[in-house]
Chain A
Amino acid sequence: MSVAERTGPQPLLRVRGMSKRYGRRIGCADVDFDLYPGEVIGVVGESGSGKTTLLNCLSAQLEPSAGSLVYDTRERGPVAVFDLSEAERRRLLRTDWGLVRQNPREGLRMSVSAGANVGERLMAVGARNYGQIRGTAEHWLAQLEIAADRIDDRPGTFSGGMQQRLQIARNLVTRPRLVFMDEPTGGLDVSVQARLLDLLRRLVGDLDLACVLVTHDLGVVRLLAHRLLVMQQGHVVEQGLTDQVLDDPQHPYTQMLVSSILPV
C-alpha cells in the first residue's frame, strides 16, 4: 500500500524518543516513527544493533527507559500504552496485537493440538462454544495453508515452516490490527521462506495489517516492508521508503549492509 492510499491521517502507532538502557549500555536510543494502518515497517541491522530490544519495547514486553508509545485503540482512540494498566496491556497484546517470535516453540503451546493453539486467543476473550472455536480454527489453518486434517496434531509433529505458519494463524485469529514479527523467516530454508513470504504478503494485504518486522534479511524486507528503519548500535541511522533505502543508501553503514548481500 502506498502512502497515498492510507486510510486516515491518524497513525496507528506513534513512537517518540523510545530508548532502553541496560545500565550504562544502550539497547536502543531515541527511536521516532509513525506506523499507519496497513503499513509494514521493516527494522534491519546486524545482530546486537538493538532490533529485538526495540521490538520488545514496542510490543510492551519491556518497559522503555524513556520515550512515549501511543497506540490508536479501537474503543478509546489514541492512548499511551505504558499508562494503561497491566491488565489492559495484556489484553491488548492478546486481541488487537499479535506477536510472532523467531522460534515458533516460544510462541506456541507445544503440548496441545494445533486447533487448541489457534483457539486459545478466542477462549481467552470469552468464546465458550466448542463448535464455533473449532470452525474458526479450521478457517485460519486453511488461510495459512495447513491441511485441515492436521487440526488435532500437536505442533511438535509439524515441520519448522508449518510451525511458523501455525504461530501466525494463532495470532491472526482475533483479527489484530498490528502484528510484531521477530525474524519470522529465520531458521527456514529458502524455498519454505519464499512460500511463507508470499503468504505473509497476501495476508498483510487482505487483512490490512500493520506490521513491525524485525529481520537481518534484506530480501525479506524488500518483499514485505513499505518503509525501513536501519539500526546500528541502538540508533536509527537511516529511514525511508524501502526501495529508496535499499537502492540508494545514504548512510555508510547502510551502504555496507546493502553491499554485503551475497549475489546469487
Chain B
Amino acid sequence: MNTKAAGYNYAYLDEQTKRMIRRAILKAVAIPGYQVPFGSREMPMPYGWGTGGVQVTAALIGPLDVLKVIDQGADDTTNAVSIRKFFAAVAEVATTTATERATIVQTRHRIPETPLREGQILVLQVPIPEPLRWLEPREAETRKMHALEEYGAMHVSLYEDLARHGRIAKTYDYPVLVEGRYLMRPSPIPKFDNPKLDRSPALMLFGAGRERRIYALPPHTRVESLAFEDHPFEVETWEARCRLCGAEDSYLDEVIVDDAGGRMFVCSDTDYCNRRQAAQGKPNPEMLGGKA
C-alpha cells in the first residue's frame, strides 16, 4: 500500500461501511429516483464538499478504475483536485481528465459535454436530495407525498415562476420525474444538463452525505423535466460562443476579465474545451489563463 495511505483501509472506508453503501446503491438502482437512506460517515472533508459523492465513489472504486473528478465542469478547481488526490492516495487508482477514458466520473454541478457511454458511472454530489423540501418542511410528510405520488404541489412552484417572471425561472436543480414515478432533484446541475439524464447509457448515482440519502438513475431510465403543456421545458441558450474553443453547443460560463466590465464566455467543461482547442492547433490553453 502507498505510504501516504498507511493505516487506512483501501478506499478509506472500512469494508463493512462499503458493503452498507453498496446495499443502498443496489436498492437505489432497483427503485430509480427513490431516496434510499444510508449511514453516512464522517469523511475527511466538510459537509458541502462532496462527502456523499465521495462515499459512493469509495464504495465502488477498485484498482482498475480510472477516476475523473470535476467541479462546476472544471478538472482543476480546489474541490476537484483534492478529491482526485484523495482517491489517488487511498485507492491507488489512475486518474484522468478525459471524460471518455474514465470509468467513474465524480462531479459537482455539471454533467460532462462529452456523451457518456455504457459502462461508465457518473457520481453526483447532492446538497439537498428532497425535491419537495421547498413546499413541505416535514420529512415524514414528504415521504408520504412520495409514497402516494402527490406531486401536484411541485407544479405550484413552477406556476408561481410563470406568474411572477413570465417563464420558469429555475435554472439549476430543475425537478424531474423518473420513469413516470418518483420526483427527483438532479442535484444543482444547470437545467442545460437535464436532457443528458434522459435515457443515459451510463449509470448515474447521487450521494447526499449530510442528508444521508443515495438515489440512482440506472442506464436508459426515462427522465422527464417538469413543465406545463403550454410552457414546455427549455434549456439555456447563449448569444455568444466560447472565446477559447468557439463551441456553440456547450454550457458557457461568463468570466469577468478586467475592472472595466470586460467579460468573456468560455466553456464550463474544461476537458471538452481544452481538447477542442488542441484539435484546432491552438497553443496550450493554460497559457491563456485557462478558466477562472
In the complex, the number of residue pairs spanning A and B with C-beta atoms less than 8 Å apart equals: 53
**Which residue on A lies nearest to B154, using beta carbons?**
A123
| Contact stretch, chosen from B53-61, B69-77, B158-166, B264-272 | B158-166
| Contact stretch, chosen from A6-14, A97-105, A110-118, A199-207 | A110-118
- For the complex formed, measure the closest distance between the CB of A185 and the CB atoms of chain B, giving whole angstroms: 28
The listed residue with most A CB atoms (<10 A of its CB), out of B152, B153, B159, B160, is B159
Contact of A116 among B163, B230, B231 (CB under 8 A): B163
Near B by CB (< 8 A), chain A positions 166-219 give: none
Query: Chain B contacts of A123 at CB under 8 A?
Result: 152-153, 155-156, 159
Question: Are B163 and A124 touching (Cβ within 8 A)?
Answer: no
Q: Indicate whether A120 reaches chain B with its CB closer than 8 angstroms.
A: yes
- For the complex formed, measure the closest distance between the CB of A37 and the CB atoms of chain B, giving whole angstroms: 27
The interface bits of chain A over 135-157 (1 if a CB of B lies within 8 angstroms of the residue's CB, else 0) are 00000000000000001100000
Chain A: residues with Cβ within 8 Å of the partner, total of: 23
- For the complex formed, measure the closest distance between the CB of A126 and the CB atoms of chain B, giving whole angstroms: 8
Contact of B159 among A90, A126, A130 (CB under 8 A): A130
Q: Indicate whether B118 reaches chain A with its CB closer than 8 angstroms.
A: no
Question: Are A116 and B156 touching (Cβ within 8 A)?
Answer: yes
Contact of A90 among B148, B156, B157, B163 (CB under 8 A): B148
Q: Indicate whether B150 reaches chain A with its CB closer than 8 angstroms.
A: yes
CA distance A38 to B150 in the complex (A): 29
Chief secondary structure at chain B's binding surface: helix
Q: Indicate whether B8 reaches chain A with its CB closer than 8 angstroms.
A: no
- For the complex formed, measure the closest distance between the CB of A129 and the CB atoms of chain B, giving whole angstroms: 5
- For the complex formed, measure the closest distance between the CB of B112 and the CB atoms of chain A, giving whole angstroms: 32
Question: Are B228 and A120 touching (Cβ within 8 A)?
Answer: no
Question: Are B156 and A129 touching (Cβ within 8 A)?
Answer: no
Chief secondary structure at chain A's binding surface: helix
Question: Are B160 and A128 touching (Cβ within 8 A)?
Answer: no
- For the complex formed, measure the closest distance between the CB of A175 and the CB atoms of chain B, giving whole angstroms: 17
Question: Are A112 and B160 touching (Cβ within 8 A)?
Answer: yes
Question: Are A152 and B164 touching (Cβ within 8 A)?
Answer: yes
Query: Chain A contacts of B164 at CB under 8 A?
Result: 113, 152
CA distance A112 to B160 in the complex (A): 6
- For the complex formed, measure the closest distance between the CB of A225 and the CB atoms of chain B, giving whole angstroms: 33
Query: Chain A contacts of B230 at CB under 8 A?
Result: 129-131
Q: Indicate whether B286 reaches chain A with its CB closer than 8 angstroms.
A: no
Question: Are A120 and B156 touching (Cβ within 8 A)?
Answer: yes
Near A by CB (< 8 A), chain B positions 200-243 give: 228-231
CA distance A90 to B148 in the complex (A): 9
**Which residue on B lies nearest to A111, using beta carbons?**
B160
Question: Are A128 and B156 touching (Cβ within 8 A)?
Answer: no
Q: Indicate whether A86 reaches chain B with its CB closer than 8 angstroms.
A: yes
**Which residue on A lies nearest to B149, using beta carbons?**
A87
**Which residue on A lies nearest to B152, using beta carbons?**
A124
CA distance A126 to B229 in the complex (A): 11
The interface bits of chain B over 154-182 (1 if a CB of A lies within 8 angstroms of the residue's CB, else 0) are 01110110111000000000000000000
New contact pairs (11) apart from A151-B163, A152-B163, CB-CB < 8 Å: A109-B156, A112-B156, A112-B159, A115-B163, A119-B156, A123-B156, A124-B150, A124-B153, A128-B228, A130-B162, A131-B230
A-B contact pairs, 6 of them (CB 8 A): A87-B148, A113-B160, A115-B159, A115-B163, A129-B230, A130-B159
